[in-house]
Chains A and B, each alone.
Chain A
Amino acid sequence: MIYLDANATEPLRPEAREAVVAALDLVGNPSSVHAAGRAARRVLEDSREAVARRFGAAPADLVFTGGGTEANALAIHALGRGRRVLVGATEHDAVLRADPAAAVVPVDGDGLLALDTLAAMLADGPPALVCVMAANNETGAIQPLPAIAELCRRYGALLHVDAVQAAGRIALDAGVLGADTLALSSHKLGGPKGAGALLLRPGLHLSPLIAGGGQERGRRGGTEPLPAIAGFAAAARAAGEATHLASLRDAAERAAVAAGAVVIGAGAPRLPQTTCLALPGVRADTQVIALDLAGIAVSAGAACSSGKVARSRVIEAMGLGDLAGCAIRVSLPWSVTGADIAAFADAYAAMAARLLRRAA
């Protein structure tokens, strides 16, 4: 099986595996005061330091959560209280559905936030919370965060950044960005599933979404998932940026385009390891199944409550409605090889030739 679905989940990095194994041998609860508890607490705080520093925050300003969805929900529930919530049209469901009353900010044909519209929305009404992703999970489009942050400052809005897909793939520094909160997920950067984090602007206080126990300075109750957190930290240390994967991604893209594909969002700056390929007239689920049978794992969009292979909401929001049902996402994991991409290119060409003939 050739795995090209990294945006659903990255394979575990060996460094993370080692850290998980070591942490599983620690018996203690990090809140216990005895020797076993203190040993667990040390690993927890070392991990907090590593993840916070890696992404430009102080350890005291990091809240560990059960994952990226919870980190997003925590930020939006806490900061959105008493504010208008504005979300980008191509946000992940974790953000889009966090506040049912949220207003949607449109995107352009490459999936980038319409800054003029955002400015108009911010100017017209009470203080807002703006929620925007650093990079899109389906197309890889990287939002112009410095410009968005500047608009938020100008209009007194708070800014929450969903950096789940960007972390470990492009340069990311919460301090430099000037976001109020920034959500991270362990398993999207090669750590284990079951841990995430929310980085906070220095000194920002948050009311908890999950109450009780007083862990995480009262900002998130529950015994911390130590092995997952230790693995998260090791992955954060190990994940540089994915720049070196751009040439492999480009090779895959060239092969697909030669076989008839259209690249979605090609005009935007994108994650170096993501491409979204539409084959006009061929249903996405048919493509995914054909590639699955050829031993290649890709997806037709977000992995969430999958099973339902629906039309891509992201591509529809970009105004490319006719392509929304026929695009697949190819996302390269940190472990990808040139041979994987060569095999993908062959399989894609064979699939496209067969299915386009049938569609014609």
Chain B
Amino acid sequence: MLTMPPRPNRPVYLDNQATTPLDPRVWQAMVPFFTEHFGNPHSAEHAMGRFAEDAVEQARAHVAALIGAEAREIVLTSGATEANNLAIKGAARFAAAQGSPRRRIVTVATEHKCVLEAVADLAAEGFEPVVLPVGPDGLLDPAVLEQALETPTLLVSVMAVNNEIGVIHDLAAIGRLTRAHGALFHCDAAQGVGKISLNMSELQIDLMSISGHKLYGPKGVGALYVRRRPRARIAPLFSGGGQERGLRSGTLAPPLVVGLGEACRIAAAEMALDAGRIAGQRDRFLDALNRDVPGIVVNADRVRRIPGNLNITFPAASAAALMAELPELCVSTGSACSSAEVEPSYVLRAIGLSDSAAARTLRVGLGRFTSPADVDYAATALAAAHAVVAARA
């Protein structure tokens, strides 16, 4: 008989694709920029401004180093959503203003909502959005992309790592195809940077979005990588003081930027260690769950995925009922943005899950600070809750 484990003394957080906890080392690096070093980094005329500017540039270098880029290829933004909008709308508008006849913008059905909406918005400006399907493994088949590229294409936007099902797209192949067809390649890497190796000197990515709060940094900051050679050209989303080489106006927030930089510095050093430890926790969790809840299904590709994500369909209980039974366990039914919605996840639909299966599916996100005790609690509690809900039905 499965019994509910004792309640933990704080919620067990297994929703690391929605947001990650701030690494305490990142916090330490940020603190002085909230207090004594509060200068405006664009006030280059006085010492306090220059100190903040130096810190921003140091952080920019850390971001660049993590992805094998140059510091001047990093445009700092308020987050990955802004970076995605800037990349997609900026690339399309710049090319159109230069007289490019290309109108096709290719993306994938399982992209984050902000990518899909940015691409869809461009239809009103005369561009041609094309949304490609994925297989049951959640991956884009390069042959499908190649076919779409037969029509001259302006931009291809494919994410590095999916936020719901954790799969890693074949960025090398997508980059090669895209470049060969003369299109730009934008990659939403919010879930990938700091989790998997993404080296701009190896991958043919022209524009890549980065999020602070998905790699143990603060919310409110992100970046867009903009390749210099060959040069990717984009128009700004909005103008103003001309910061970030005119591509993103507005005062930079040094504490947040320093936090992003420190998070990237730590990720560069510890990414591989994190991945190994998290994979161990994941296996421990999955072994226990498989033992106690026969019939669970892990969705999407089992190999080409980050270790910190599991997307699991339960045999006999809805995700909503499981979550209601377990107020101390923080997991989710899908992307955080739309997690208040009752609609089944469009990502799960795209990989072929029925609405009934999608309703029985939970996203479990492990991270740097997930402990063995956390996963033990989660597995035992989920199994017990599943038995309770199934018996009720």
Chain A contacts to B: CB under 8 angstroms: 1, 3, 5, 8-12, 17, 20, 24, 27-29, 31-37, 65-70, 72-74, 77, 92-95, 97-98, 100, 185, 187, 192-195, 209-215, 221-228, 285, 288-289, 291-292, 297-300, 302-307, 309
B1 close to A (CB within 8 Å) = no
Contact between A194 and B78 (Cβ–Cβ < 8 Å)?
yes
Task: Compute how far the CA of A17 lies from the CA of B252 in the bound complex, rounded to whole angstroms.
Answer: 18
Contact between B85 and A221 (Cβ–Cβ < 8 Å)?
yes
Closest A residue to B120 by CB, please name it.
A211
B138 close to A (CB within 8 Å) = no
Contact between B251 and A297 (Cβ–Cβ < 8 Å)?
no
Contact between A69 and B48 (Cβ–Cβ < 8 Å)?
no
Contact between A94 and B240 (Cβ–Cβ < 8 Å)?
yes
Contact between A227 and B251 (Cβ–Cβ < 8 Å)?
no
Which residue of the partner chain, among A24, A31, A211, A300, contacts B336 with CB atoms under 8 Å?
A: A31
Contact between B27 and A297 (Cβ–Cβ < 8 Å)?
no
Across the interface, which residues of A come within 8 angstroms of B45, CB to CB? 285, 288-289, 292, 298-300, 306, 309
Task: Compute how far the CA of A305 lies from the CA of B241 in the bound complex, rounded to whole angstroms.
Answer: 6
Contact between A212 and B40 (Cβ–Cβ < 8 Å)?
no
Which residue of the partner chain, among B47, B78, B116, B237, contacts A1 with CB atoms under 8 Å?
A: B47
Known: A27-B21, A98-B239, A222-B79. A67 touches B250 (CB 8 A): yes
B347 close to A (CB within 8 Å) = no
- Give, as a whole number of angstroms, the nearest-CB distance from B216 to chain A: 11
Contact between A32 and B251 (Cβ–Cβ < 8 Å)?
no
Task: Compute how far the CA of A315 lies from the CA of B235 in the bound complex, rounded to whole angstroms.
Answer: 30
Task: Compute how far the CA of A222 lies from the CA of B38 in the bound complex, rounded to whole angstroms.
Answer: 25
Contact between B34 and A17 (Cβ–Cβ < 8 Å)?
yes
Task: Compute how far the CA of A66 lies from the CA of B249 in the bound complex, rounded to whole angstroms.
Answer: 11
Contact between B323 and A33 (Cβ–Cβ < 8 Å)?
yes
Contact between A211 and B237 (Cβ–Cβ < 8 Å)?
no
- Tally of A-B Cβ pairs under 8 angstroms: 273
Given contacts A187-B40, A212-B117, A225-B219, 7 further A-B contacts (CB under 8 A): A8-B40, A73-B237, A213-B114, A213-B338, A223-B19, A227-B220, A306-B43
Contact between B243 and A305 (Cβ–Cβ < 8 Å)?
yes
- Give, as a whole number of angstroms, the nearest-CB distance from B32 to chain A: 11
Closest A residue to B46 by CB, please name it.
A297
Interface positions, chain B 246-260, Cβ under 8 Å from A, are 246, 249-256
B144 close to A (CB within 8 Å) = no
Interface 0/1 of B238-277, CB less than 8 Å to A: 1111110010011111111000000000000000000000
Interface positions, chain B 68-113, Cβ under 8 Å from A, are 77-82, 84-85, 112-113
Task: Compute how far the CA of A29 lies from the CA of B239 in the bound complex, rounded to whole angstroms.
Answer: 29
Contact between B238 and A69 (Cβ–Cβ < 8 Å)?
yes
Task: Compute how far the CA of A226 lies from the CA of B221 in the bound complex, rounded to whole angstroms.
Answer: 11
Across the interface, which residues of A come within 8 angstroms of B113, CB to CB? 212-214, 221
Across the interface, which residues of B come within 8 angstroms of A12, CB to CB? 34-35, 38
B337 close to A (CB within 8 Å) = yes
Query: B179-187, B226-234, B327-335: which one contacts chain A?
Result: B327-335
- Give, as a whole number of angstroms, the nearest-CB distance from B129 to chain A: 13
Across the interface, which residues of B come within 8 angstroms of A302, CB to CB? 241
Task: Compute how far the CA of A226 lies from the CA of B78 in the bound complex, rounded to whole angstroms.
Answer: 12
Which residue of the partner chain, among A35, A291, A309, contacts B327 with CB atoms under 8 Å?
A: A35
Known: A227-B220, A304-B42. A194 touches B115 (CB 8 A): no
Contact between A194 and B38 (Cβ–Cβ < 8 Å)?
no
Chain B contacts to A: CB under 8 angstroms: 11, 13, 15, 18-19, 21-22, 27, 34-35, 38-40, 42-49, 77-82, 84-85, 112-118, 121, 211, 213, 218-221, 237-243, 246, 249-256, 323, 327-333, 336-340
Contact between B43 and A37 (Cβ–Cβ < 8 Å)?
no
Indicate the member of B13, B243, B336 with the most A CB atoms within 10 Å: B336
Per DSSP, chain A at the interface is loop
Across the interface, which residues of A come within 8 angstroms of B13, CB to CB? 27-28, 36
Across the interface, which residues of B come within 8 angstroms of A225, CB to CB? 78-79, 218-221, 256
- Give, as a whole number of angstroms, the nearest-CB distance from B169 to chain A: 19
Closest A residue to B219 by CB, please name it.
A225
Lowest 7 A-B CB distances belong to which pairs?
A: A212-B114, A225-B220, A304-B241, A66-B78, A73-B238, A193-B253, A194-B253
Contact between B18 and A194 (Cβ–Cβ < 8 Å)?
no
Task: Compute how far the CA of A266 lies from the CA of B213 in the bound complex, rounded to whole angstroms.
Answer: 46
Show 29 A/B contacts (Cβ-Cβ < 8 Å), sorted by A: A5-B39, A9-B40, A9-B43, A17-B34, A29-B19, A32-B19, A33-B332, A34-B330, A35-B11, A37-B336, A68-B250, A69-B251, A92-B240, A93-B241, A94-B239, A98-B239, A192-B255, A213-B112, A213-B114, A214-B338, A221-B114, A221-B117, A221-B337, A225-B221, A227-B219, A299-B43, A305-B246, A306-B45, A306-B49
Closest B residue to A223 by CB, please name it.
B219
Across the interface, which residues of A come within 8 angstroms of B249, CB to CB? 69, 73, 93-94, 97, 304
Contact between A212 and B42 (Cβ–Cβ < 8 Å)?
no
Contact between B81 and A222 (Cβ–Cβ < 8 Å)?
yes
Contact between B46 and A98 (Cβ–Cβ < 8 Å)?
no
Across the interface, which residues of B come within 8 angstroms of A70, CB to CB? 78, 238, 250
Known: A69-B240, A97-B240. A17 touches B42 (CB 8 A): no
Across the interface, which residues of A come within 8 angstroms of B38, CB to CB? 9-12
Task: Compute how far the CA of A68 lies from the CA of B251 in the bound complex, rounded to whole angstroms.
Answer: 8
Which residue of the partner chain, among B255, B327, B330, contacts A28 with CB atoms under 8 Å?
A: B330
Contact between A67 and B78 (Cβ–Cβ < 8 Å)?
yes
- Give, as a whole number of angstroms, the nearest-CB distance from A65 to chain B: 8
Contact between A226 and B85 (Cβ–Cβ < 8 Å)?
no
Contact between A303 and B42 (Cβ–Cβ < 8 Å)?
yes
Closest A residue to B114 by CB, please name it.
A212
Across the interface, which residues of B come within 8 angstroms of A288, CB to CB? 45-46
Task: Compute how far the CA of A66 lies from the CA of B220 in the bound complex, rounded to whole angstroms.
Answer: 7
- Give, as a whole number of angstroms, the nearest-CB distance from B8 to chain A: 11
Contact between A8 and B114 (Cβ–Cβ < 8 Å)?
no
Across the interface, which residues of B come within 8 angstroms of A73, CB to CB? 237-240, 249
Known: A12-B35, A212-B113, A221-B117. A193 touches B256 (CB 8 A): yes
Known: A1-B47, A306-B45. A211 touches B251 (CB 8 A): no
